[in-house]
Structure 1
């Protein structure tokens, strides 16, 4: 089963978790950042995973990414998962999708980039394969909360076990 994991990361935490998810999913899961992600998925893509940070209760925007710069984020992508989802062409078949986000553990705030991403991807023709997942980080810059790397690996293995869902 071939897949692609599209990730947006400003401090590196979301990308690290995405790479753990992809590694547990298997060798055929390619990780790409939202800036480089293709606007049309290849026909052989059987599974899509999308992950990004939760900003202001949802997916990041140009404004929230700019604000992250002022908080010390070392890497600000020109395009996040919000813009990638808006640009990706609807799939020719209902490709299964799973979404995840990162969010600070304290204070525990509402909202989820993963839930909003899933809603938008389903509207574009993708088929939900699992409930959106959230992974915790300590503060905006991390580190990743205890146990979350292992939980990401376990989630990646669970997604792989679902198969192509056809």
Structure 2
């Protein structure tokens, strides 16, 4: 089974998590079958040989980024200049209803601060027609521009390994 990881990263933290998830999936024997790609380079049509889609992005203004929040991040020193975030990519991707999809996000841990790009992305993917989209993990950063909190990359790699082992993600509709 091939896995496609679509990620949006402005300060490099979400990309680092995507790379760690990829390492974890590869540890499970996926090897060359795992591809990570930026949201503005991701295909509008998911190849048929992809059996798991993972979508990740940073949480900005309580949700997925928008053009305005990406521009704001650039004024704060964002390393990446993303033309098309996961929000816009989701709006344009052709749905595959039975494809398992898991989302993740990066965000600052602030007590009682609501909002999650992972939650919003899972909801948007289901609305787009990906019936098996589910909210995955949040990975914590110290501040808007990072760095990731200690241990988060190891946790992301372990989460990727676990995703590769989860039978329910790989089972087709007849197996459920």
**TM (normalized to structure 2)?**
0.89
Report the counterpart of residue 96 of structure 1 in structure 2.
100
* More displaced 10-residue stretch of structure 1: 36-45 or 71-80: 71-80
- Over 3 Å counting, the alpha-carbon distance change for 1:80 and 1:59 in structure 2 is same
Which sits farther off after the overlay, 139-148 or 127-136? Answer: 127-136
Gaps of 5+ in 2: none
Q: How does 1:1-166 map to 2 (within 5 A)?
A: 1-26=1-26, 27=31, 28-91=33-96, 93-106=97-110, 109-128=113-132, 130-163=134-167, 164-166=170-172
- Whole-angstrom CA distance in 2 between matches of 1:73 and 1:107: 24
Structure number with higher helix proportion: 2
After TM superposition, give the deviation of residue 105 of structure 1 in Å: 2.3
Q: 1:130 to 1:61 in 2, by over 3 A?
A: closer
Deviation at 1:96, TM superposition (A): 0.2
Rounded to whole Å, the distance in 2 between the matches of 1:108 and 1:150 is 26
Q: Distance in 2 between matches of 1:63 and 1:131?
A: 24
Distance 1:41 1:101, change over 3 A: same
The CA distance in 2 between the partners of 1:7 and 1:97, in whole Å, is: 13
Q: Which runs of 5+ in 1 are unaligned?
A: none
> If the length of structure 1 is used for normalisation, what is the TM-score?
0.94
The total of aligned residue pairs comes to 165
Q: Give the aligned CA root-mean-square deviation in angstroms.
A: 1.4
Is the CA contact 1:47–1:96 (under 8 Å) kept in the aligned structure 2?
Answer: yes
Listed one character per residue, the Cα deviations across residues 22-62 of structure 1 (whole Å, up to 9, x for unaligned) are 11112211000001000000111100000000000000000
